[in-house]
Structure formats: C-alpha cells, structure tokens
Structure 1
Amino acid sequence: MTQLIFLPGASGSTDFWAPLAIKLQDYPDQKIVAYPAFANEPAHDDVQDFSSLSRYVLDHIQDECIIIAQSMGGIFAVQAALEKPEKVKGLVLIATSGGIDMTAFQVEDWRTAYQQHYLNYPDWFSTVKLDYAAQLENIRQPVLQLWGDADLISPVAVGEFLQQQLASSSLHVVAGGDHLFASSHADICAVHISAFLKQF
C-alpha cells in the first residue's frame, strides 16, 4: 500500500497531524517528518539552512508515496513532486503557498508573529523567498487541494491560483476553516483525502 508522508508547517509540530492521521487508519504506512531544531526536535549537523532542510526532508522520500503537506510544508511537497516524480504519486496540499510569491494576494503578515512566538526556532521559514510558479505546470501527479474559507494566511484565492497552474488538481473549501483547519476539522479533511486516495 502507498505510504503517506505528512509534512508540518513552519511550527514543525508533528502533533498537528495526529487527529488526521488517526482517521486515515486504512493507510497504516504513515510517516510524519520532523524538522531538526523545530518543535523540540534535536538539531542535525547536516541541516544548517533552508536548502539543507529541503534536502533532509526529500531524503525521507525513499518509497512510492502520497505527500500530505500543510502551510510551509507545501514547499517541500512541490519540490519533491518536481525532483522525485517516480516516488511521489500524488500531493495533498493544505493551506499552503506551494512555494509561490504571495505578495500579489491579500495575506496576513504571519512572519513577524512567527518570529516573536518561536524565539528559539531557526528563521529559515520566515526569511526564505521562493517562487515555483513557473514550474508548477511540470507537476503531472494528481493533486488534492484543501483550503479554509476563514484562512487569512493562505486565502482561498491562493488555492484557486495553484489550481490553475497545476495540470491535475481539485480544490475543496472547508467552511469555517482557519489556517490550522487540517487539525481542527480533521473529520472533513479525512473524507476528502480518503476519496482522493482511492485512485492510487
């Protein structure tokens, strides 16, 4: 059975995925990737910046998998789909930027609050500037997009833009969902993801 790989957002919290992962028990081969130096995870000598963190995350993709990524974790998901298409069979992108330039959208400035809240965290997520918009058309894998209609950090308009760029994607909007809805609204997310996974 295809492995599910969960990628957290900038908080690095692996616990974030617990409510959703347990509702996907029909897929027992699950891996939640922890980011070194985030959320009480020990630092790693080979991870010193965003680029090396990207390599660290992609090194965890060794088998055929579906990647389920929230927020900034979506950057790694997009990178993996582009660099390891033979391994990454599909993506579930949740409330993410997907590695595009967000300045064109009416988004809340999360980076300042993030730096103030996570004082002991590396600043790699809050300072990185990437734009994969021109490469999104090269992602041929099926993509499920889940967005919350109350998300100020990644509004639905971002999901709509990504859907236009991706070759094979579907977008579902979760009513009342803020940026962390994948955890707080795990029931409805599990319904959409389970339906998506049936094609693999």
Structure 2
Amino acid sequence: MTDILDEALDEAMRDAHITMENVGGRTLRVATWRLDEPSDHLPVLFFNGIGANIEAVAPLAEALHDRAFIMFDMPGVGGSPEPVVPYNAVTMAWTTAQLLDKLGVDMVDVMGVSWGGAMAQHFALQHGARTRRLILCATTAGMVMIPGKPAALSKMADPRRYIDTAFMEEHFQTLYGGALGKAEDKAEHIHRLKPPTRRGYMYQLLAMLGWTSAPALPFMRKPTLILMGDDDQIVPLANGTILNSLIPNSELIVLEGGGHLFLMSHSEDCVAAIRRFLNEPDEEPGDPGAAKAA
C-alpha cells in the first residue's frame, strides 16, 4: 500500500518545480507548475488550508494542466522554515506579491480553500490590480462566519490531525465528511500530509484572529466563483451563501454530499467548474452582463 501511495504522490508532483525563495524577510518553499511554458491563460495562485502542505493539493495543480499553477507552504508548514515572528493577512498578502514579482508574474487568478480562502479574499482586496478572477472553496468571510459542528472544530484546531495518523484515521469523517470515506482516498490524502511545526500551526491560527472581509466584499468587483459542500462539518454551506450575498459579481455552486475536502471527493466536478469559470470572457466595465450571477 505504501508503494502505491508513493507512486500516486510522485505522479502528482512529477511536473512541480520546487524552490526555496527568500521573500519579504521569510524563506518559503514554493512549487510552480508549467510557469515557464507558453499559455493563453493566467497562472493560478493558490492559498492552501491551515497546516496543509503543497503535496496535499498537488493533484489539483496537475488536473489544471492547461495553465500555470503557483503554491507555497506557509511559514512552519511543509518545507517552509518555522516563522520567527508572527504574520497576518496584510503582511502575508504583501509577501505573496513580492513572491510574484520574483517569479516574474504580474497578474493571476487567485484561489483558496478554507483558511486559504480567507487569504485569497484578502489578496484580491489588497492587490486588486494583480487579481483577475477569484475562486473561494469551503471558506468564510472571517469573524462573521457561521461556525461548524463543535466536534469537527475541536479536531480541526488540534495539530495532532497532522502528527498522529491514528488520530486522523479515527476522526477523518468528523473532520471532512463522509464523501471522502473510501479507504484508498482517505489513505492517499493522509499520506500527502506533512506535520506543521507547533509554532507554525499556532501562528497560522493567530494570523486570522479578528479578521473579516465582510465590510470590504461589497466593493470588490472581481468575478468570483464560490464552491461549497452541503455536508461540510467545518465550514457550513451558509457561509458560502453569505459570501455570495456580499460579493456583487459572484456565483455559488454547491457540491451535493461534499464535505470539507470536496476538492478531492468531487474533483471532476470541481475541475470542470473551475475551468469553465476561468475560461469565461471578461466583461467590459459597466457591461450589464457583469451583474450578479443568480
């Protein structure tokens, strides 16, 4: 079984270009896919979930094979060194912009899942000139969120889910819902995870303390796709409805039976929706077609 999982991981990472980049006073482990290849599409800048390393989302980067993909491990997560000082959404969005400069990338389509969905919102607000479109998965507007089930949230806040395989196995369905309950899918996801450092995990939790995008979202005009699962125990569907009501030019898609990891359990549906959204022509300013999607 381990050999099979190693092969699956190697397959997902085979085209990734991994570097250690010094940006914004931090050293970050960065992965890019197809960045040096010609493309008619902008690169996707991806912000991961809390404590999750590059490998956890590598299959998505592989699936979006017609465009470049950029992702990095947060400080103290995956292969990025432990942070010395804390950070917040403002400083990390600035650091990300510095990384794009170093990679020679001017504009991107921005995507984030869960904690990374909050970072994606903040990046789009702070660096609107560098953001074309926005994709938000299983995420919230921050402090105004509708909380998930206490049993799932308590496990989510516990870094043992990354460190202790038995703990993750025992609480997998509570954390991520039943749609990813097949043993092979569950084992493959767990196998991709690398434990964050305790400080790295804590600083990532603290980075969004008191943060909310709610007051600013009505002024953000970026076309936005919101993907939510109706069986998400951590970020209930109501949070996607709130985002959809606040963002003027947004579209909400609900994955039936999708838990918090619907990007994996419903990967084909997600990739199809993402590709369709990113390939849509941009509306001209003032065009009535830019009105909010129903």
State the TM-score, normalized to the length of structure 2: 0.61
Q: Which residue of 2 aligns with 1:25?
A: 65
Pick aligned residue for 1:12 from 29, 49, 52: 52
Q: Which residue of 1 aligns with 2:142?
A: 99
Judged with a 3 Å threshold, the aligned counterparts in structure 2 of structure 1 residues 106 and 31 are, in CA distance, closer, same or farther, namely: closer
| Residues 148, 177 of structure 1: 8 Å contact kept | yes
Bigger relative CO (Cα 8 Å, ≥ 6 apart): 1
Pick aligned residue for 2:256 from 175, 178, 182: 175
Amino acid at match of 1:159: G
Pick aligned residue for 1:69 from 93, 97, 112: 112
| Residues 118, 142 of structure 2: 8 Å contact kept | yes
CA distance in 2, matches of 1:179, 1:189: 13
Judged with a 3 Å threshold, the aligned counterparts in structure 2 of structure 1 residues 172 and 90 are, in CA distance, closer, same or farther, namely: same
Q: Which residue of 2 aligns with 1:126?
A: 205
Per-residue Cα deviation, 1:94-136 (whole angstroms, up to 9, x for no partner): 001133422xx24234554223425623313334221221111
Q: CA deviation at 1:137?
A: 0.8
Pick aligned residue for 1:37 from 43, 64, 76: 76
- Using the aligned pairs only, state the percent identity: 27
Q: Which residue of 1 aligns with 2:86?
A: 48
| Residues 67, 90 of structure 1: 8 Å contact kept | yes
Amino acid at match of 1:32: M
Judged with a 3 Å threshold, the aligned counterparts in structure 2 of structure 1 residues 34 and 116 are, in CA distance, closer, same or farther, namely: closer
171-180 or 113-122, which moves further after superposition? 113-122
Is residue 123 of structure 2 the alignment partner of residue 80 of structure 1?
yes
| Residues 159, 201 of structure 2: 8 Å contact kept | no
| Residues 74, 93 of structure 1: 8 Å contact kept | yes
SS in 2 for 1:68: strand
Amino acid at match of 2:226: Q
Per-residue Cα deviation, 1:39-97 (whole angstroms, up to 9, x for no partner): 3422355x533354443234334421111100011121111111111110111000011
By percentage of residues, which structure has more helix? 2
146-155 or 32-41, which moves further after superposition? 32-41
SS in 2 for 1:124: helix
Q: Which residue of 2 aligns with 1:161?
A: 242
**Structure 1 residue runs of 4+, over 4 Å off?**
none
| Residues 69, 94 of structure 1: 8 Å contact kept | yes
CA distance in 1, matches of 2:239, 2:123: 20
Judged with a 3 Å threshold, the aligned counterparts in structure 2 of structure 1 residues 111 and 38 are, in CA distance, closer, same or farther, namely: farther
CA distance in 1, matches of 2:82, 2:159: 20
SS in 1 for 2:148: coil
SS in 2 for 1:6: strand
Amino acid at match of 1:48: P
Q: Which residue of 2 aligns with 1:189?
A: 270
CA distance in 1, matches of 2:74, 2:43: 19
What RMSD in Å do the two structures reach over aligned CA positions?
Answer: 2.1
| Residues 163, 170 of structure 1: 8 Å contact kept | yes
Amino acid at match of 1:167: P
Give the number of the structure whose alpha-carbon radius of gyration is greater: 2
State the TM-score, normalized to the length of structure 1: 0.88
